[in-house]
Structure formats: C-alpha cells, structure tokens
Structure 1
Amino acid sequence: MSIKKHIPNIITGLNMLCGTIAVIFAVQGNLIMAALFVGLGIFFDFFDGLAARALNVKSEVGLQLDSLADMITSGLVPGIIMYQLFLRALPGTLDPMSDSWSADAANTWLEWNIPFLAIVGLLIVVASGYRLAKFNVDERQTDSFIGLPTPANAMLILSLPLILVYQPHPIAVSLILNEWFLVGLTLFSCYMLNAEIPLFALKFSDWSFNKNKLRYSFIAFCLIMIILFQFIAIPLIIASYVLLSIISNGMESKRRELV
C-alpha cells in the first residue's frame, strides 16, 4: 500500500492536533498560545489540500476529515476565544473554571456561574459547524467559497487578543473589551460564515501568474499590510478580502454580459 495517499490526511491530522492543543490553551485562558496553535493548524490546513492535488490522491475521506479538523481549529477555538474575551469585558466576572476541580465542587455542582452574555460568543462554534456542513454538500464551492471560510473567520477572532497584548492602543483596547462590540462582532461573524457572498479561494491549481493574478496580488497586499500594521492588519485584510471578492465578482459578471 502506497504511503503517498496518506500524506494529505497526515497533514490534516496535524491540523486537528494543533487545534486540540489550542482548545486546551483557550480554556485555560492562554489566548496567545491558543492563537499560535490555531495559526499552525491553518498552515497545515492550507497544505493538506495542496498536497492532495499535487499527489492526485483526493478522497471523500480526506474531505470529511478536513472539515472535522477545521471544526476544531477554526470553529471551536474561536468560539472559546470569544467567550474568554467576554469574560474579560464583562465587569465583575471571574474565570468559571477556577473552582471546577476544588474539593467543594461537589456541593455546588448545580450552581451556574457562567455569564449569559458570554455564551453569545459560542454561537461562532454553531455557525462554523453549519458553514462546514454546507461546504461539504455545496457543489458551487469547488473553486471558490460562498461565505467567509472558517480559517479566515478564526484569524479575525484570534487577532483580537493579539492586538490587546502586542498593540494595546487605548482605542483598540476599549473597543475590543466592550461587551456590545463583542456581541456585534459575534453576530456579524456568524452571518458572514453563512452569507450567500461568493469569495475567491487561495487555492492554486498551478503556479502561473496569469491564472492567479488576483491570488498573488492579494498575498502581496497581505504581506505589506502585516509589515506595516502587524496584528491590526488582520481585520483590515479580512475586510479587504470580502470587498475585493465582491468587486471581482461584479467585474466578472459585467464581462460575461458583454460577451
């Protein structure tokens, strides 16, 4: 049995492993390490499909495994991160996990000590799961996306704690730690994950410039933005990705009408 056909699934497994480690860090409140492992998971997520196409070993199992890995890395972790941000934004809230394993826990096991508003952040998990389920059965999404891909949404959410720690501008901090901003961002995130908006994919069928002008231009734009603005660039890049896709789709529609 050739090992070649297992290489993409092994890479997907590394994505799943990174996502699982990120879950542990996120639950513990270590949002920076969680972001690091999500970043590694997304890196592997990009290359598993690339490896499958390069080795010509695409399979239905690989497709399902990829979505399961994305559900952990780019669905579950961002939801927990948003939940943790709510805990930091809401006044007087404590980490509900702090006393979970104490000797007195048996006497208070019916006590609810989770802020209801913080649960709103977990809607990202639900919306991500629904988006991934639709992706697996939607034949329109072979070469592009309908709605924001879960890795892009994960990068948007995970940029928030990175900005808080490494670029703590007073305006950015007050905005990110505002519970109503977090509510709005969560609902917007859930909408964009499942919106009927066509977005171009960063999938390369070959490396030619003519066929991938948009992809190469966008990657160059991302690098420049990150160099100039660091983590604050991530929300700007996601917004630019959506806007550029809408403009590109509009130009393509007009071109087809003229043909």
Structure 2
Amino acid sequence: MNIKAFIPNFITLLNLLCGSIAVIFAINNHFVFAAFFVFLGIFFDFFDGLLARKLNVQSELGLQLDSLADMVTSGLVPGLVLFKLLELASNSKAITPIDSWSETMEWTGYHFNLLPFIGLFVTLASAYRLARFNIDEDQQSYFKGLPTPANALLILSLPLILEFQNNDLINSIILNKWFLIALTILSCYILNSPVKLFALKFKNWSFKPNAVRYIFIILSIVLLIVLHFAAIPVVILLYILLSLFNNIN
C-alpha cells in the first residue's frame, strides 16, 4: 500500500466517522453534539483535498470517497436535523403508536405525521448536488450552487442558536413549521442552483486576485465575534451575495 496516497483518504474516513457519530446524536435529539461532529467532519473534509494536492496523490478513489463521506456528514445529518426540528415545530412525533393522538394518517398500528419527512428532501438534494459535482469538470476554481458543507453549517446553526442564544423572537421563527419548510425548499434550490460561487482556494496570497476571498474571511470573523452562532446564516448569505457581485465584475 502507498502510505502517502492513503493519508488523505484516511482524513476523508475521519470525516465519514464524524458524520456517522453526528447521525446518532441527531436521532437522539442531542443537536449540540451532532453539530460539533459535523463541524469536525467539515474540518477534515477541507484538509483531505488540501493534503491530496500537497502530496500530489489526487485520485478517482479519493474523489468518490470524499463524496460518500460528504453525503453522510453534510447530506444526511442536516436532513435529520430538519426532520427533528419539524417534529418540534409541529409538536408531534413523525411516528407514534396508534393509541397516541395524531391528526395524520395511520397504518398498521402507527400514526404518521408526514410533515417532518419534508426535511429529508435536503438529503436528497445533497445527494443530487454531490453526484453532479463528481461529473462536472468545470468546478475547479468555483462552485455551481452552494456546497453541501456550507448548507450543513446553515442548518446545524439553527439548534445552536436555539440552545445558546435563546432569543424568544428568533426561537419562534426557527420553530415555525412554515419557516422550516421554506428553508428546506430554499436549501434544495441553492444546493443545485446554476449560480457560480467562489471557492476558498488560494493560488497565491496576493490581495487583488483574492480580494473577494479576503473580504469574505474578514467580514465572517467580525460577524462571528459579534453575532456568535446567529452569524452563520448571515455568513452564508454574505457568501452568496459576494459571489453574485464577483460574477458581475
């Protein structure tokens, strides 16, 4: 075995491990721990490609493995979190025994609340986005549509805002089922949007060719310091707006 070639793949497997652990926490409503392992998985996701380029061991195996890991960490987990948040918003479990009250359909001894399952459409959209990325040879210096890790950060920020910032107005918005449905639809669209978004890849450290990247990083740091977890949706919006502005120039 070529040890040097395996190093970035091992980092990718750590991403997959983090995503798998996050799934377990999300299913059990431990959203903070789920978010932590998603963030850690995204950290590994950033460095596996960087290491592959630095070691000059990029491969088709690494590309496919990376997408499989992203499917769990940045595709399945955010879908499950939306599923759980929609359960909270509707004040009803997705599946309950037939002796429990439910306003939804029943089948073989169980009531089904179909609303939370809408959140899983983000998982489907993420899978479609990752498959398109794998066969698209143009996305080297930019992305078409929002990358799945960025979308995962957006969705995982919601339970963190609920847990740590505890603002009644913001809480009421996040736990509103119509807001969550709208967010799901928006996420599915922006994941597969044809809009070009800049990648955070620096070919050199000069300011002029990387101005939009430096501005984004500086503003993101300021927003995170001021708004804490509530800054994450703002940062994602900033990323999209700066990309649109960069496309005009």
Structure 1 residue 96 displacement after superposition: 4.1
In the alignment, which residue of structure 2 is the partner of 1:257? Answer: none
1:137 is matched with which residue? 135
Partner of 1:103: none
Matched, 1:199 2:197: yes
Which whole-Å CA distance do the structure 2 matches of 1:4 and 1:109 have between them? Answer: 53
In structure 1, distance between residues paired with 2:158 and 2:239: 18
Q: Does 1:170 align with 2:168?
A: yes
Structure 1 residue 4, shift from structure 2 partner: 1.0
Output one character per residue of 1:13-36: Cα deviation in whole Å (capped at 9) or x when no partner: 000000000000011111111000
> Counterpart amino acid of 1:94?
K
Unaligned segments of structure 2, at least 5 residues: 98-105
3-state SS of 2:231 partner: helix
- The aligned runs of 1:52-131 (5 Å cut-off) are 52-91=52-91, 93-94=92-93, 96=95, 110-131=108-129
Q: Structure 1 206/151 Cα, relative in aligned 2: closer, same or farther at 3 Å? A: same
The amino acid of 1:198's aligned partner reads K
Q: Which residue of 1 aligns with 2:246?
A: 248
Structure-2 change in CA distance of 1:112 and 1:128 (3 Å): farther
**Equivalents in 2 of 1:206, 1:187: separation in Å?**
37
The one-letter amino acid paired with 2:7 is I
Q: Retained in 1: the 8 A contact 2:94–2:113?
A: no
Percent of aligned pairs sharing the same letter: 55
What amino acid does structure 2 have at the position aligned with 1:20? S
Give the corresponding residue for 1:190. 188
Greater mean deviation of Cα atoms: 212-221 or 20-29: 212-221
Letter paired with 1:21: I
Which of 233, 239, 256 lines up with 2:237 in the alignment? 239
What's the counterpart of residue 105 of structure 1? none
Higher helix share: 1
Please list every run of 5 or more consecutive structure 1 residues that lacks an aligned counterpart in the other structure: 100-107, 252-259
Secondary structure class of the residue paired with 2:138 = helix
Quickly say closer, same or farther: Cα 1:87–1:4, change in 2 above 3 A: same
Give, in whole Å, the separation in 1 of the partners of 2:192 and 2:94. 31
Q: Are 2:83 and 2:117, in contact at CA under 8 Å, matched by a contact in 1?
A: yes
CA gap of 1:129–1:40, structure 2 versus 1, over 3 A, is same
Cα shift at 1:140: 1.6
CA displacement 1:137-176 (0-9 Å, x = unmatched): 0112122100000000000000000000101111100000
Counterpart CA distance in 1 for 2:231 and 2:90 is 26
Residue 145 of structure 1 aligns to a residue whose secondary structure is strand
Describe the shift of the 1:206–1:49 C-alpha distance in structure 2 as closer, same or farther (beyond 3 A).
Answer: farther
Q: Distance in 2 between matches of 1:208 and 1:10?
A: 32
- Say whether the 8 Å CA contact 2:86–2:177 is kept in structure 1: yes
The alignment's TM-score, normalised by the length of structure 2, stands at: 0.92
SS at match of 2:197: strand
What does residue range 207-246 of structure 1 map to in structure 2 within 5 Å? 207-246=205-244
d(CA) in 2 for partners of 1:36, 1:174:
24
| Distance 1:42-1:23 versus aligned 2 partners, 3 A rule | same
Identify the residue that residue 28 of structure 1 maps to in structure 2.
28
One-letter amino acid of the counterpart of residue 21, structure 2: I
Q: Distance in 1 between matches of 2:28 and 2:89?
A: 17
Residues 229, 57 of structure 1: alpha-carbon distance in 2 compared, 3 angstrom cutoff = same
Q: TM-score, normalised by structure 1?
A: 0.89
Distance 1:109 1:183, change over 3 A: closer
Local SS of the residue matching 1:140: coil
Aligned residues: 241
| Aligned-residue offset at 1:208 | 4.4
